[in-house]
Amino acid sequence: GDPFRRTTVDGYDAYWQAYSRNKRSITLDLASETGRELLLRLAETADVLAENFTPGVLERLCGGPERLLECNPDLVIVRISGWGQTGPRASQPGFGTLAEAFSGFTFLNGPPDGPPVAAPLSLADTVAGTYAASAALGALWHVRVNGGPGQVVDVSLYEPLFSIMGADATAYAGRGRLRSRGDGAGVSSVRGVFQTGDDRWVAISAATDETAARFFAAIGREDLLADPRFSTSEARLANREELREALVPEFRRFGRDELLALAAEHRLTVGPVLDVTEALADEHYRERETIVELEDDGVVLQNVVPRFSATPGAIRLPAPGLGEHNREVYGELGLDAAELERLASEGVV
């Protein structure tokens, strides 16, 4: 929305380019009566309407879901808000950083001996958007396949994050166990990020006895398996701090590329920690076209995921200018050029 249109990286609107590809853009003043009427006309032919106002705003603008469903009984209305449409926090403003903190994610994020650390990306918004898209498809399936009515989908920013926190709530309620801050080693012992001898970084996830044994053998530390503290997965988990202390100098014996070559040779579950410059140059990224460059303007973007074999997705449209598709979209409603010019002069579009 507006913040992304104004946010730039050294004068370049990278956020708008990344998040607004494959979209059409129209302008519409919902504070005007004519604008609200046009919204209802748009809703009449829509499959899904998504909004992320604070609860109550949609009701004030156009009568809310009840009025929209009167116009189109098959409409799926997806409502994304900080705290959901109900509950004591519903009317409070909510942003992703607040939702991440409220979900419990921020409490767990950061070093074990340090303070909680806010996520360095739009985590809550992205996860909530993924859940909302999945829910919209389920509701649309109910309309088209089951012959059911349209409905309202209520998605908060914090609940999707809370739902992917795993068994934390169950473990605490059942056994009083509270997971500590850190890299998640409380559920997997040979796991985490380690620095190599050339001051680069690798990640490892060798939670099973088989993967751990293969890793220890490859780095010449079979003796760790003879130590009762590290001989089984359960023992390693109980003594994970001691194991990490033993492994830190072992990783420092290798350069990153040397360790990755060893990992490839022995099929170790070790991988590089990449920054975006390395990702852009990586052979695997290139082979799978994870990143693409638009032909017309040279904008570099993440490609569409997931991959469909029969109906593959593509970046069809670059990020639009504000209102770029007014004539096209409103033309689909039957508005001609003269009427659009009048609405523009009145500030409606």
Active site members = 125
* 3-class DSSP assignment, residue 195: strand
Distance CA 292, CA 290 (A): 7
Distance CA 230, CA 250 (A): 15
Residue 202 is inside which H or E element, if any?
strand 201-205
Contact 41, 30 (CB under 8 A): no
Q: How far apart are the first and last CA of the chain?
A: 16
Distance CA 76, CA 121 (A): 29
Distance CA 286, CA 298 (A): 16
Distance CA 62, CA 43 (A): 11
* Tokens 């909680």 found at: 116
The DSSP bridge partners found for residue 291 are 302
The DSSP bridge partners found for residue 194 are 202
The residue among 102, 138, 146, 152 whose CA lies nearest residue 123 is 102
| Sign of torsion over alpha carbons 189, 190, 196, 202 | negative
Contact 336, 18 (CB under 8 A): no
